[in-house]
Amino acid sequence: MRKQRLFVLVAVVIITLADQLTKILSLFYLAPIKSTSIIPNVLDFTYVMNKGAAFGMFANHRWVFMVLTTVVIIALLVYLMVKKSDSKLLTTAFTMIIGGGIGNMIDRVGRGYVIDFIDVKFVNFYVFNVADCFVTIGCGLIVLYLLVDTVKSVKKKNG
C-alpha cells in the first residue's frame, strides 16, 4: 500500500512537471513564431491557446470542466490513497489521468486557457499537449483493464 501511494505521488509530480515544462518551452519559443515543422507533413509544433475542454470543445463552459476535472482528480486520488488496487494497470491508468488532469488544470486556473502545441499533420486532428497524451493513454489503459477483467471473469465463470 505504501509503495503504491509513493508511486502514485511521484508519478503524478513527474507527469505534471513534464507537462508544465513543455508548455513553458512552447510559450517562450513557439508562441512568437506560432508554428514549426518537426517532420514535414507528419508533425508540427503549433502554439494554440485552448479556451475549451478536450480538443477545444465547449469553450464557453470553462468552469463546468474545471469543477468536473477537480471532482475526477479528487475521486481518483482518494481511491488510490485509500484502497489498494490489485491492478498495476488500473493504478497506472488512474495516475496518468490525475497527472494530466492536474497539468491542464494548472493552465486553466493560472492562464485561463490550456497551452496546446502537438500538431499531428498526417491525420486531421486537434492540436494537443503532453497532459492530453497522459489522460488519453490513461483512459485507453482503463479500457484495456476492463477488457482483460471481463475476459478473466468469463473464463472463470465458464470453468
State pTM to two decimals: 0.91
User: What confidence tier does 78 reach under pLDDT thresholds 50, 70, 90?
Assistant: very high
If you count DSSP H runs as helices and E runs as strands, how many of each does the chain have, helices first? 4, 3
Q: Which of 127, 134, 130, 131 is nearest to 49 (CA)?
A: 127
Q: In a 10 Å sphere around its CB, with 0-12 CB exposed, 13-18 middle and 19+ buried, how is residue 1 labelled?
A: exposed
Q: Which pLDDT score is estimated for 59?
A: 59
Distance CA 68, CA 136 (A): 16
Task: Please state the domain extents for the chain.
Answer: 2-158
Q: What is the mean pLDDT of the chain?
A: 92
Q: Which pLDDT score is estimated for 79?
A: 93
Place of cell 468536473: 68
Q: Give the active site residues.
A: 116, 132
Q: Which pLDDT score is estimated for 100?
A: 98
Q: Which pLDDT score is estimated for 54?
A: 59
- Residue 34: pLDDT over 70: yes
User: What confidence tier does 53 reach under pLDDT thresholds 50, 70, 90?
Assistant: low
User: What confidence tier does 113 reach under pLDDT thresholds 50, 70, 90?
Assistant: very high
- Residue 58: pLDDT over 80: no
